């Protein structure tokens, strides 16, 4: 087994594990993928100067912009599709709200949350992916308030691209893990890859799942990025309908073939919350879903219940949903 050094991209640590090829080949493949991930990090960055900030600047000034980076154009196209599919709960057009909450920086934000009036003002401008117009590789927005931030899809799409690139380099068995957003292909010798799912407290492992061929296992939790003020915990996942952090779930795990789909789903289901997650999951075609609420109760789709194994020291209350 070859395991790479950690690479810091997309605001998280990325690790690559490769099985079944000589170490020099594995090392060369990892170096190639690392260079590509660094390039994507720069192209998609929501606040450091680059192609995405230039596009957002064009939107703010009512101009159209040619997008020459193919993966960025693809992200915009996918974002429009997923916005509709999730009934607007995945809405990467709310970058200005994300910035207002202090999440456009590498450090955790500190101090009180933004003033309610400032949040309401940005929500009232109603930026959505439907405002974004793609004409060939010219991209514009009907609404100058649109500011794209791909934090809810970027890591998932990046692991898709990384696994594809490894395959082109002759690798058949690998894991690419971008801070809890991971994709696997093949096996570890004769056995499937075994993936640990982090406890929502951010400490230790809640459960494990064995993978089945090429799959993404993506977990989004309010322990990743947040602000804390006077004992109140504010998640980085915002509800685009009211500009406030998603509240009823501490973590969502989705397993799907596509990393981009699974990443979007964890964001959208976090926003939908306990009351509404099933309505959103169904049209997305999801089968494998695990949610954990603020009390530590675990909600599983029936297919996920068959796949998941809780750690021996974890025996949470479990609720099985209707089949998806």
Interval 26-38: pLDDT, tens: 999 999 999 999 9
Mind listing the pLDDT tens digit for each residue in 91-116?
A: 999 999 999 999 999 888 999 999 99
Helix (H) or strand (E) holding 33: helix 23-44
For residue 224, is pLDDT > 90? no
Q: What is the pLDDT of residue 180?
A: 87
Q: Give the CATH architecture of domain 2-35+157-320.
A: Roll (3.10)
Structure confidence at residue 280 (pLDDT): 98
228-240 pLDDT, tens digit each: 999 998 999 999 9
* Separation between Cα atoms, residue 31 and residue 318, nearest integer Å: 42
Residue intervals in the chain for CATH 1.10.3980.10: 51-141
Residue 137 has pLDDT above 80, yes or no: yes
* Angle at alpha carbon of residue 232, lines to 246 and 94, rounded to 5°: 35
Give the per-residue pLDDT at 6: 95
User: What percent of the chain is predicted at pLDDT more than 70?
Assistant: 100
Q: What is the mean pLDDT of residues 132-144?
A: 98
pLDDT given for residue 102 in this prediction: 96
Arithmetic mean of pLDDT over the chain? 96
What is the tens place of the pLDDT at every residue in 58-75? 999 999 999 999 999 999
Residues of each domain in the chain carrying CATH 3.10.520.10: 2-35+157-320
| CB proximity list for 129: less than 8 A, separation 6 or greater | 79, 80, 83, 84, 91, 92, 93
User: What are 171-219's pLDDT values in tens digits?
Assistant: 999 999 998 899 999 999 999 999 999 999 878 899 999 999 999 999 9
- Report, as an integer, the average pLDDT of 114-125: 98
Candidates 3.30.420.40, 1.10.3980.10, 1.10.357.10, 1.10.10.60; CATH matching 51-141: 1.10.3980.10
Report the distance separating Cα 248 and Cα 223, nearest Å.
13
Q: How confident is the model at residue 314 (pLDDT cuts 50, 70, 90)?
A: confident
Q: Are 148 and 95 in contact (CB under 8 A)?
A: yes
pLDDT of residue 256: 98
Residue 269 host element (H or E)? helix 259-281
Give 311's pLDDT tier (boundaries 50, 70, 90).
Answer: confident
Confidence of residue 134 (pLDDT cuts 50, 70, 90): very high
Confidence band of 225 (pLDDT split at 50, 70, 90): confident
Q: Is 304 exposed, middle or buried (0-12, 13-18, 19+ CB in 10 A)?
A: buried
**In the predicted structure, residue 223 carries a pLDDT above the cut 80:** no
Looking at residue 107, its pLDDT comes to 87
pLDDT, position 202: 75
What's the confidence (pLDDT) of residue 229?
92
By DSSP bridging, strand 298-300 and strand 318-320 are parallel
Q: How confident is the model at residue 252 (pLDDT cuts 50, 70, 90)?
A: very high
pLDDT of 214: 97
């Amino acid at each position: 087994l070859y395991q790479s050094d950690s690479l810091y991209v997309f605001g998280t640590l990325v690790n690559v594990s490769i099985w079944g090829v000589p170490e020099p080949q594995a090392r060369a493949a990892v170096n190639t993928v690392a260079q590509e991930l660094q390039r994507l990090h720069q192209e998609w960055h929501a606040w450091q100067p680059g192609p995405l900030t230039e596009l957002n600047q064009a939107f703010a000034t009512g101009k159209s912009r040619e997008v020459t980076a193919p993966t960025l154009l693809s992200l915009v196209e996918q974002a429009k599709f997923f916005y509709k599919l999730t009934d607007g709960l995945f809405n990467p057009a709310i970058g200005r709200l994300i910035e207002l909450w202090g999440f456009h920086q590498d450090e955790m934000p500190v101090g009180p949350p933004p003033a309610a009036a400032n949040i309401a003002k940005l929500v009232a401008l109603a930026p959505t992916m439907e405002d974004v117009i793609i004409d060939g590789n010219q991209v514009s927005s009907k609404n100058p308030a649109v500011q794209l931030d791909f934090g809810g899809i970027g890591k998932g799409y990046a692991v898709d691209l990384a696994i594809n690139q490894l395959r082109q380099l002759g690798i058949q068995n690998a894991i690419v893990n971008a801070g809890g957003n991971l994709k696997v292909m093949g096996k570890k010798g004769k056995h499937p890859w075994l993936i640990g799912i982090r406890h929502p407290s951010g400490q230790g492992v809640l459960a494990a799942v064995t993978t089945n061929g090429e799959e993404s296992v993506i977990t989004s939790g309010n322990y990743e990025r947040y602000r804390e003020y006077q004992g109140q915990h504010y998640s980085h996942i915002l509800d685009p309908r009211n500009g406030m952090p998603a509240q009823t779930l501490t973590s969502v795990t989705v397993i799907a073939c596509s990393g981009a789909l699974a990443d979007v789903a964890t964001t959208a289901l976090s926003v939908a919350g306990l009351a509404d997650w099933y309505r959103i999951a169904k049209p997305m075609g999801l089968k494998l879903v695990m949610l954990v609420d603020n009390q530590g109760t675990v909600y599983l789709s029936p297919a996920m219940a068959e796949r998941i194994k809780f750690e021996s020291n974890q025996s949470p209350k479990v609720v099985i949903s209707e089949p998806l």
